[in-house]
Amino acid sequence: MTTLVSVIIPVWNGAERLPATLKAVDRVISTIEGAKPRALKFQLIVVDDGSDDDTRAAAYPWADLVIGFPVNRGKAAAMSAGCRAAGGEIFVFLDADLGETASCFPVLLEPLVQNQADLTVARLPQVNKPAGFGLVKGLASRGVKALSGYSSLAPLSGQRAVRAEVWKRCGRVYTGFGVEVGMLIDTVKLGYRVMELAVPFGHRETGRDWGGFVHRGKQFVAVGLALWECWRKPVC
């Protein structure tokens, strides 16, 4: 029996970095689909979240489906659009700037295929570049623990794989950068199995400059809103 896996990549203004990521994913897909017996089939979906560069054109040579928003609607909306269009039994979410390291995504997939987990989350390697002060991650970790009882080491990681049925049962309209935290809380509360895995993904890190602080500020607000929503309206 063949399992369809939908790889969903939300992206905003990623024309420069997206092609390398898609090329790496496509190469792995070709290898897996070419193996005998073939147990997995893939569709690659790119959701262009209102980019004002050539992101959409950069995606077309590699993606099976490109979805484009006329304006930027945020990461959660892009992920949701990708899921609605996806036909897979498993969804794999990847950031657009992973480059060659995107080829590591099967590590996230394996526990679901082997029925060992229902949601897998990547723990990325430590980086030497000074970034933020841990406020967003701290808020997310404490919030996930308080609302679900689960101790997460990577609550903000965008690299994850989840069964389609889990995403549909969560059923919540998540907000912006709070989508990962909300998904994690709801998945645990619904009784599904979560596994966090060390995966050597690498992507662009925001630094301690104005742009980095603005990004983390938006992320902090979005995570706070997601936690508030999960507390105000528990999934079960």
CATH of the domain at 30: 3.90.550.10
CA–CA distance, 214 with 175 (Å, rounded to integer): 17
- Check residue 129 and give its pLDDT: 57
Strand order in the sheet with 90-93: 65-68, 40-48, 3-11, 90-93, 160-163, 119-123, 194-198
**pTM to 2 decimals?**
0.92
Q: Residue 13: which region, alpha, beta or left (left: phi > 0; alpha: psi -120 to 50)?
A: left
Question: What rounded mean pLDDT belongs to the chain?
Answer: 91
How confident is the model over 179-218, as pLDDT tens digits?
Answer: 999 999 999 999 999 999 999 998 766 555 545 556 677 8
Tally the domains of the chain. 1
- Check residue 205 and give its pLDDT: 61
Q: CA angle, corner 92, sides to 31 and 133, nearest 5?
A: 120
CB 141 within 8 A of CB 155: yes
Chain-centre distance for alpha carbon 142: 20
Domain limits at 22? Answer: 3-232
